[in-house]
Structure 1
Amino acid sequence: MTLTVCSQFCGKTQYFGLEYSSECYCGSTIANTSIVTTESDCWMPCSGDSTAICGGNDRISIFRSLNYTTPVIPNPPAVPGYAYRGCYADKVGSRTIDGSYFFDEEMTTTKCAGLCGNSTYFGTEYGGECYCSSTFPTLARGLDGVACGSACKGDGTQACGGFNALSVY
């Protein structure tokens, strides 16, 4: 692995990172749970270029792509029978919408609504995840709409949540 190979693999994503000398990661955001550490914690030479550093033990060297352009965040699409409620924080241990779950490489907001059938609420996350429930927690934390700007895997003109961010209808 080299910095160039990882950068090219990640294409036009905003960030790419390397860890453990040979692992490449791509993403549009840096997790809000990340903690900045000292440069010396990233000490492992890249497996394909020993003159470059590719992270460390549980440490990732993160780079911002020079090819990145800020995407236009689409408005949440209208879905018959549902109203857009907003963008909400979500996490694995405590799902905002904790009913049925679906993943589809062709996910759209309309497809998620259809998968959820008669559920009162549904939400999309990470571009391809769909969650359904008849209840909505009153303690759900709202987020800025930018956090829910990931394109739907099935329709790049629609937003389908984001990293730990759920577009809720």
Structure 2
Amino acid sequence: MIFFAHSFSLAFVLSVLSSESFANPIVSRQAEHIAHLGCWKDSAPRTLHHRVSSADVADKTSFQGCTDVCFNAGWPLAGVEYGDECYCGNGILYNYGLSESCNMDCPGGNTSVTCGGPDAIQIYSTGAGPYTVGPASLLFSYNGWITAHCYEDDIWSFGGPRLLPHIPPNEPPAESMNVEKCVDACNVSGYTSAGLEWGQECWCGNVTYPPGESVPDFECAIPCNGDDTEMCGGSSRILLYTKL
């Protein structure tokens, strides 16, 4: 399910995602442009993917500083947890559900607001664009490509080559990875196979018939960083797509 910021009567243009965005001057967001999405359970792996260094958060006394830095980096979601932790993301990963444990004070003696709690994160829409809420499911086909399902790609245990050995020259950024972007990147580069691992890695090759048998699809169920309604492989497991 995809949620858009205008569902909260907001209208903003999606900022460009960039690893250098955190180095840019921070523009403070007005509180009325930020929508509180509630208190959510958190675990490992994290509900919001990207951890922000405390040094990058100018105002640590409330959720405001965290939402500022996430918005300026182009992330549609921001979350505060355990009093002083800040996270950004494109989607509410894993959808662990709501929590009632966001009861920790924010730093600096500000007792008028809370900043999450232990294994509990207060999530806000920054207004930077659309976001998603899982759970992830298998995308069976896209633009003439179909899934060949999930395969082992355990180079650490077996020491062999990867099932798909190539990183596309135009590899999508890890923070915005999804099936469509990986398939498009491999297709433009002339490959006939594309694969995703760890929710954020894109691999290309020309495997018509993968060696060995596939493993259950749930082993490739890590959500994509860029769209957590889609599966993007797993730990040493590659979700394979082939061109028709």
TM-score by length of 1: 0.54
Residues 69 and 45 of structure 1: is their aligned pair in 2 closer, same or farther, counting only changes over 3 Å? same
Partner of 1:25 in structure 2? 87
Structure 2 counterpart of 1:137, from 214, 218, 230: 214
- Contact kept in structure 2, 1:103 and 1:128, CA below 8 Å: no
Q: CA deviation at 1:123?
A: 1.9
Partners of 1:104 and 1:129 within 8 A in 2: no
Cα deviation code 1:20-73 (max 9, x no counterpart): 1111111111123412122xx1111112462321111111111122x23338xx
| Kept in 2: contact 1:20–1:57 (CA 8 A) | yes
Separation in 1, partners of 2:186, 2:107 = 41
- Give SS of 2:68's match: helix
More strand by share: 1
Q: Tell me if the contact between 1:15 and 1:29 (Cα under 8 Å) persists in the aligned partners.
A: yes
Give the TM-score, by structure 2 length: 0.40
More helix by share: 2
Residue ranges of structure 2 left out of the alignment (5+ in a row) = 1-59, 132-140, 154-161, 173-181, 233-238
Aligned partners of 2:102 and 2:115 also within 8 Å: yes
- Counterpart in the other structure of 1:84: 145
CA gap of 1:63–1:69, structure 2 versus 1, over 3 A, is same
The CA deviation at 1:106 is 5.7
Contact preservation (8 Å) 2:168, 2:186: no
Distance in 2 (CA, whole Å) between partners of 1:104 and 1:9 is 30
Which residue in the other structure is 2:78 paired with?
16
| Larger of the two Rg values belongs to structure | 2
Aligned residues: 132
Q: 1:5 to 1:102 in 2, by over 3 A?
A: farther
The offset of 1:130, in angstroms, is 2.0
- Among 34, 57, 67, which residue is 1:7 paired with? 67
What stretches of structure 1 of length at least 5 have no aligned partner?
89-95, 142-146, 151-161
> Using the alignment, how far apart are the partners of 2:169 and 2:66 within structure 1?
23
CA root-mean-square deviation: 4.2
Measured at CA, do residues 104 and 55 of structure 1 come closer, stay the same or move farther in structure 2, by a change above 3 Å?
farther
- Within a 5 Å distance, the mapping from 1:15-164 to structure 2 comes to 15-38=77-100, 41-48=101-108, 50=110, 51-65=112-126, 67-70=127-130, 83-85=144-146, 96-99=150-153, 100=162, 107-108=171-172, 109=182, 121-124=193-196, 128-131=200-203, 135=210, 137=214, 139-140=216-217, 150=226, 162-163=227-228
The change in CA–CA distance for 1:129 and 1:48 in structure 2 (over 3 A counts) is farther
CA change 1:52–1:148 in 2 (3 A) is same
Q: Percent identity?
A: 23
Change (3 A) 1:46 1:9: same
